[in-house]
Amino acid sequence: MSSTSLPSSLPPAPRPVDADTARRLRDAAARAEFDGQIFRYLGVIGSPGWRASMREKWPKMVTFDCGTLVRLFIVRDPVPETIAAGAVGGGEVLTALVKSGILVGESGGMVRCPFQLTPAAGVLVLSDAIDDPASANPPDDYVIPVSGAARGVDDLTPREPCDLVIDLACGQGFHALRSMTHAKRCIATDINARALDFARANASLLGASDRIDIRQGSFFEPVADVVGKVDLLTCNPPFVMQPGAHITSAVSPTEGDGMVEGLVRGLPRMLREGAWGVMSGLWENAEPRDWSARVREWLAEAGCDALVLQFQTYLPEEYLTAWFPPEVRVGIEPGWRALCEKRRIGAVTYGAVIVRKRAGQNWLATLSTPIFARTGAAGEQIKAYFASQTAMQNMWGPVDLLDRKLRFAAGWRFDPAQGTPKSTPLGVSRGLALPVPNQARWEPVLTAFDGGATARETLAQIRASGRLNVQPDHPETAAMLQGMVQSGCLDILS
Ligand SMILES: C[S@@+](CC[C@H](N)C(=O)[O-])C[C@H]1O[C@@H](n2cnc3c(N)ncnc32)[C@H](O)[C@@H]1O
């Protein structure tokens, strides 16, 4: 499979910068407060009218240099050299950025950036621009900016100090860069040589070139030497299902969910005992309520505990409307219908699969969560969830929970009867939004579990306070607690 079967109209990929330039650029960005928070004010890159809106907003950024960096790297307008130099850390940095192709000189003493440089989760990420003319019908070597799906995988990743991470299908290398806060090294792979050039340039911007090993090849092919040795594998693959053959940064190269299946089946063997795997994807369902059936089958003998997250399930026609602009939809509709008939696709689920390799009897849990409604990183919430499900697996029965200390789990809850939350309430803990039917009734009960007493003692306190008439020794009480642990509301403390 070639990664460059279509002629490219994209600018030549950037080259790495030297360590001193990278350090000075990072320092300048930090001083200017050019970080992920800017999008709270600027809005979303690529949303309708975004460029005009950001042109109005950049002069009002928190610092003048932040405005200049937005103008140069996000809006991508030409900027006078002298002003750009001030914002990127000085004239020498500017010259080095021009030499690496990250900036290009224009007539009239102006410079511009042919790419997008996005500050995201503490790292600076060069990619092709979201609105590069080529992005409407992307050639094979288009390098996608950090997307919502990429941020989702990042926020779902359990992070702990470790030796080896793999970022499979790394694109610009965002997840590889993010792993540098806790891993000694990372192998970042992609089939697209141009994407790997971006990943190399981005590694240099972070000062991590010597810790990110960049390898070209298809999925697991370039990492055959580290089977069973990996501590964390992250993968945000090109999972969009579309009829026909594709080799782009977003659309799956295999029919239906075949690529996602291959990745889910192949991921566990890469991991050492205790290691994590996180990937996003779209997968087929025979019908909407069976949304996790195929993933269960793929993971049946995986030797991993697994959490399968459902972000959204679509009927086939809803999927087309939600994932494709009208001009593309028209062209693919007949092929999509034929594909649905051929593969008996009754629904499509967008979600994520998180696994942890563990010897012994494994569990698989499913949770529904609107991913857009999360509050930042959910890695700690997920680690606690895995620990709690494993602790429950090792109990004789739910009744054992009464003698354990339980704690209201991180994350936040919403009542599905009130509709899906549109925005995140302020002042709540971080993590995934999890549905709790009848939240108003349950939340005061759940928050009583603070980890300080056994569940039996806490239930007695709740009863004494008159908040809920629960009898600790009634069999349904243990089953209720079990349900709360399984739905991510309560954590079991060890
Ligand atoms: C959706 S992009 C994700 C990029 C990056 N990981 C992120 O999250 O922003 C998918 C990436 O998969 C790569 N890809 C496509 N087919 C591949 C294959 N067979 N093996 C490895 N990578 C592949 C594409 O080149 C693209 O960079």
Rounded distance between C-alpha atoms, residue 229 and residue 359, angstroms: 15
Instruction: Please name the residues in contact with 95: beta carbons below 8 A apart, sequence gap of 6 or more.
Output: none
| Helix (H/G/I), strand (E/B), else coil: 142 | coil
Angle at the Cα of 289 (from 479 to 437), degrees rounded to 5?
A: 45
Q: Write b or e for each residue in 360-377: b if 16 or more Cβ atoms lie within 10 A of its Cβ, otherwise e.
A: eebbbbebbbbbebbbeb
Ligand 1, from 3, 236, 239, 323: best to mutate by most atoms within 8 Å of Cβ? Answer: 236
> Which one-letter DSSP state was computed for residue 232?
E
What percent of the chain has a predicted confidence (pLDDT) above 70?
Answer: 94
Rounded distance between C-alpha atoms, residue 215 and residue 193, angstroms: 9
48 to each of 13, 15, 44, 131, 349, how far by Cα in Å? 27, 31, 9, 11, 26
| Helix (H/G/I), strand (E/B), else coil: 213 | strand
Tens-place pLDDT, residues 229-269: 999 999 999 999 988 766 677 777 788 999 999 999 999 99
| Helix (H/G/I), strand (E/B), else coil: 30 | helix
Tens-place pLDDT, residues 336-376: 999 999 999 999 999 999 999 999 999 999 999 999 888 88
Measured from the Cα of 195, ligand 1's closest atom is: 27
Domains identified in the chain and CATH numbers:
19-119 (no CATH), 135-383 (3.40.50.150), 390-492 (no CATH)
Q: What is the mean pLDDT of the chain?
A: 92
Rounded distance between C-alpha atoms, residue 111 and residue 125, angstroms: 19
Closest CA to 91 of 38, 24, 46: 24
Q: Give distance in angstroms: CA of 359 to centre of ligand 1.
A: 30
Rounded distance between C-alpha atoms, residue 425 and residue 428, angstroms: 7
C-beta 249 within 6 A of ligand 1: yes
End-to-end CA, the chain: 49
Q: Give distance in angstroms: CA of 64 to centre of ligand 1.
A: 36
Q: Quick check: 129 pLDDT over 60? A: yes
C-beta 86 within 6 A of ligand 1: no
The verdict on pTM exceeding 0.85 is yes
